[in-house]
Amino acid sequence: MFSRAAHKPGAKFIYGIFGVQYSGDEPAGRQLDLIKSFDALIDGKAHLDRIVYPTKNKPFGTQIWLSYWHPATYAEWWSSRPVQDFWNNLPDDAGVWRETLTVDVGRTQNACTADLKNGVNGLGEKEMFSEKIGYWGCLRDRLAQATADEKFSSPLAEMPERVPESEEIRRGRTSITKKTYWFEEFDELVTGWMHHLGDNAAANGLLDVRMGYVPENGRFRDHEGPINLNHNRKIELFYWMDMSKFERAGRVHRGHVKLRKKWMEAYCPVGPMGNGVGKITLWEETSILKGGDVQAEYVGCREGTGFMAYDGSAAVKSTTVAC
């Protein structure tokens, strides 16, 4: 049995993803002040996770707020005077960004191995389910709008080329419309899968990858390599070009195929970690977005940040104005 959000038919919800960029291992000075100011504005207003995203092989990072909202609640919060004053008064090199994703519940699905308020499960009511699990294509089948003809394909003929993230700042505003069991059975496979996706993003059909962690939950190891993989609570955000790229990435990587098989064997009702025995929680969410469902704004951010990495291609439309 898995837990998922119990959406009302025809409803929508919003991912509000916000970031503050900083240099070095920890934020300091003005960037730390911006983080504290924004955190005070959003704290207690939405279900959210605070994530640290260390940019791979780069001397900078990002504090990210991954928040979930009902549309009316988000609109009220975003239009409030304190939030607008903060946003409109950002300097032209602020290093602050937002990505707002509006999701039709007919084009999203999620699952959590425990009845907890992880991810979109924290937005409202939850329900348990046991159908459409454990076979290739089950995630697509759990999308209410999925049909034999609906392939959820991208209108783009091929992957757009992205601009690598760099230390160069684009001034102004750019807008774009249990542990032992885990170590023995899963840790190596999960680590390998994450490395594969992060190191081969374009080949896997990924527009962007953000692998972050929640520092307040501590570490379970101190291995060399990406720091996020050493933490107890990890949150990865993947932007695939379309559903076919997403499905292919899982099918062709042998480590992921093995990981998926072992996970289903362990966490099925008769498995050694099933029916609540396993205390390690995994949750996933898949949402299919149309172009108009995405709004993004980057204020004085590093070149190559988020969707800004594609504003020289046909993938996005963008405008840059002075602050």
Per-residue pLDDT tens digits for 205-243: 999 999 999 999 999 888 776 788 889 899 999 999 999
By percentage, how much of the chain surpasses pLDDT 70? 98
Distance CA 209, CA 163 (A): 14
**pLDDT at residue number 90:** 98
pLDDT digits (tens, 9 = 90+) for 28-63: 999 999 999 999 999 999 999 999 999 888 889 999
Distance CA 211, CA 144 (A): 28
pLDDT digits (tens, 9 = 90+) for 246-283: 999 999 898 899 988 888 888 777 788 777 677 778 89
Q: Report whether 249 contacts 204 (CB < 8 A).
A: yes
Helix (H), strand (E) at residue 42? helix 29-42
pTM for the structure as a whole: 0.90
Which residue segment(s) compose the domain that 312 sits in? Answer: 2-321
Distance CA 170, CA 193 (A): 33
Nearest to 206 by CA among 155, 242, 234, 176: 242
Give the total number of structural domains in the chain.
1
Burial of 12 (0-12, 13-18, 19+ CB in 10 A): middle
- Helices 81-88, 29-42: axis angle to 10 degrees equals 160
Nearest to 94 by CA among 63, 52, 58, 54: 63
**pLDDT at residue number 322:** 83
